[in-house]
A and B are shown apart, each in its own frame.
Chain A
Amino acid sequence: MAKLSVEVVTGERVVFQEDDVDMVVVPGADGTLGILPRHAPLISLLSLGEMRVIKGGQEQSLAVFGGFVEVAHNRVRVLADTAERAEEIDLARAEEARKRAEARLGRAQADVDLIRAEAALRRSIIRLKVGRRSRGRQPVGPQQELGNL
């Protein structure tokens, strides 16, 4: 059975690389995309969110913030604007950022402030979600999946 090879790169560095992957889930611009081996060639924009890489029942998680995904010949290439592996995320910092963004959202006056604060809030929530997931990494079963939602 064919497997996927996955690569996540940003303008600054190669963030993630893994072969023999069973499935990849990325936050596509038009909704979440699940990519299995032998997927048709695809190029999609990405929104912000969690990217999951499933290999042999083990799951790895990344936070990606915008960019592109290209799928061809069982290769998944994510060209992200920013991306972080779950274990790189500083939970305390993300939590702080979330609180700051919420506070700012409360007293935002101009539209620009509002948009900025909202974006910051979304980013911090994604970081928290991805970061927390990695701290207790267990094999993923159906119930587990639901439990994490």
Chain B
Amino acid sequence: MPTPREIRRRIRSVRNTAQITRAMEMVAASKMRRAQQHVLATRPYAERIRAMIGDLAAMADTEEQARYPLLARRPIQRSQIILITSDRGLAGAFNTNVIRRAIQVMNERPESLENIDIVTIGRKGRDFLTRYGRPLVASFTDVGDYPSLESIRPVVRIATDDFVAGKVDAVYVVYTRFINTLRQVPEVLQVLPIEAPPGTDEVTDYIFEPSPEAVLQALLPRFVEVQLYQALLESIASEHSARMVAMRNATDNARELVSELTLTYNKARQAQITREVTEIAAGAAALG
């Protein structure tokens, strides 16, 4: 049985921990809200680009489509996987889940592991993969909580350059989709070649300047960019909500522990008092 003094010390320490986790929960909650707004703000642009590509691609037949390097479908011999994790931990199973999903994707690909190039965004993914001896084509860290579109461009450049040069035949991004505060799902998205969405037929009467081909040519890289950007923003929103929930659980656990310890402390204190009283009584009896 620990002494009351030991228990008291323990209670104080657990209380401090609870205070810290509570603070982290609040920080994560506010960052999560901003990240969510950020995701929403990118949607109008992404949706229009997507719709325009769909309509324009529908105007071109398969043969014409093959002339656009970013639409080129080849038999897949080498692929590239972009893994988005966070820089920091203490976010529950957030990183574990997305890394596990990436490993699963790699194992399921028909091409062998040596034929899969990996690019990581976030320290956790990088650390994990290097620990397991997987070489990385590139790794990016410190994108921050509110990254600009500019910050994703180097990643986009690697993906498109490698794809256009024929170094890889497909590019996938593994990221965490934000569904709601309690649910974030790791997902895989094919970035390249671009799968043109179905057209709406609305676009046929448009005047194009300089030409439909030039417009499509300019749209395609933007689409890659915005897709990766959205994947990154969704991952960030997911990270913060995962951390928020993890920290809330930690706070709850700490509080529970405090109440248990308080009970133990009271019992120990009472036992001590009883013992002292018995000792005094026994002493008095011995004297009398």
Given contacts A10-B149, A12-B42, contact A70 B48 (CB under 8 A): yes
Write the A11-34 contact mask toward B (1 if CB under 8 angstroms, else 0). 111100000000000001110010
Given contacts A9-B45, A11-B149, contact A41 B218 (CB under 8 A): no
Do the beta carbons of A11 and B229 come within 8 Å of each other?
Answer: yes
Looking across the interface, which residue of chain A has its beta carbon closest to that of B208? A43
- A40 to B206: give the CA distance in the assembly, Å: 7
Which residues of chain A have C-beta atoms less than 8 A from B44's C-beta?
7, 9, 14
Given contacts A45-B218, A70-B48, A70-B52, contact A13 B207 (CB under 8 A): no
CB neighbors of A among B136-164 (8 A) = 148-149
Report if B49 contacts A (CB, 8 A): yes
Do the beta carbons of A44 and B222 come within 8 Å of each other?
Answer: no
A136 to chain B, nearest CB (A): 31
Which residues of chain B have C-beta atoms less than 8 A from A128's C-beta?
none
Which residues of chain B have C-beta atoms less than 8 A from A43's C-beta?
52, 203, 206-209, 215
Interface residue from A12, A30, A70 paired with B149 (Cβ < 8 Å): A12
Which residues of chain A have C-beta atoms less than 8 A from B41's C-beta?
12-14
Do the beta carbons of A42 and B49 come within 8 Å of each other?
Answer: no
Given contacts A68-B52, A70-B52, contact A11 B209 (CB under 8 A): no
Do the beta carbons of B222 and A81 come within 8 Å of each other?
Answer: yes
- A30 to B214: give the CA distance in the assembly, Å: 12
Which residues of chain A have C-beta atoms less than 8 A from B218's C-beta?
45, 68
Do the beta carbons of A79 and B45 come within 8 Å of each other?
Answer: yes
Looking across the interface, which residue of chain B has its beta carbon closest to that of A28? B209
Interface residue from A7, A45, A77, A81 paired with B209 (Cβ < 8 Å): A45
Do the beta carbons of A44 and B42 come within 8 Å of each other?
Answer: no
Given contacts A45-B215, A45-B218, contact A11 B46 (CB under 8 A): yes
Given contacts A77-B48, A79-B49, contact A30 B208 (CB under 8 A): no
- B contact residues, total (Cβ < 8 Å): 26
Report if A72 contacts B (CB, 8 A): yes
A116 to chain B, nearest CB (A): 15
State the majority secondary structure of interface residues on A: strand
- A70 to B44: give the CA distance in the assembly, Å: 13
B145 to chain A, nearest CB (A): 14
Report if B210 contacts A (CB, 8 A): yes
Report if B63 contacts A (CB, 8 A): no
- A20 to B226: give the CA distance in the assembly, Å: 30
Do the beta carbons of A11 and B45 come within 8 Å of each other?
Answer: yes
A68 to chain B, nearest CB (A): 7
Which residues of chain A have C-beta atoms less than 8 A from B48's C-beta?
9, 70, 77, 79
Report if B219 contacts A (CB, 8 A): yes
Write the A83-113 contact mask toward B (1 if CB under 8 angstroms, else 0). 0000000000000000000000000000000
Write the A50-90 contact mask toward B (1 if CB under 8 angstroms, else 0). 00000000000000000110101000010101000000000
Looking across the interface, which residue of chain B has its beta carbon closest to that of A69? B209
A82 to chain B, nearest CB (A): 8
Instruction: Identify 13 residue pairs between A and B in the complex whose beta-carbon atoms are under 8 Å apart, listed by A's number.
Output: A9-B45, A11-B149, A11-B222, A11-B225, A29-B214, A41-B203, A41-B205, A44-B207, A44-B210, A45-B214, A72-B202, A79-B48, A81-B222
Binding site for A on B (CB under 8 A): 41-42, 44-46, 48-49, 52, 148-149, 202-203, 205-210, 214-215, 218-219, 222, 225-226, 229
